[in-house]
Copies of this chain bind each other. A is one copy, B any other.
Amino acid sequence: MNYKPINFRQKFGLFAEQWQPKVVAEMNDYQFKVVKLQGDFIWHDHKDTDETFIVIEGRLRIDFRDGAVHLSSGEMFVVPKGVEHKPCAEREVKLLLIEPRGVPNTGAAGGDRTAPSDAWI
């Protein structure tokens, strides 16, 4: 067994591209993914699962059809399944995402912003 900790800062240092989640760990059939976001994403939802956002560095806004949540470093939010949302960040934000293995970033919306859902780093 490998007793090495997973260090978020070290993982974020390994890549520059935005909007491309990278798996860093698994817990049962769930995955922990680091991702850098900047700008606006697309409206989408995940029909079958909640999705957890934890801000490691920077600020994130998640828009909903009837409001928004603002997250800073050391804050988290769970987007319930089936709820349309759109992440936005004025400046680059570094996030930890937690969701079941195989969930695509664009959910049910699909399209050209869809990233590989099982890229490890």
Interface residues of A (CB under 8 A from B): 1, 3-9, 25-28, 30, 32, 49-52, 56, 64, 66-72, 74-78, 80-81, 83, 98-100
Contacts and interface: CB of A to CB of B under 8 A. Distances in A.
Copy number in the complex reads: 2
A56 B55 CA distance: 12
Contact of A30 (B5, B30, B66): B30
A78 B27 contact: yes
A69 B27 contact: no
14 contacts: A1-B64, A1-B66, A1-B80, A1-B83, A3-B68, A4-B69, A5-B69, A5-B70, A5-B72, A7-B74, A26-B50, A27-B50, A56-B74, A98-B98
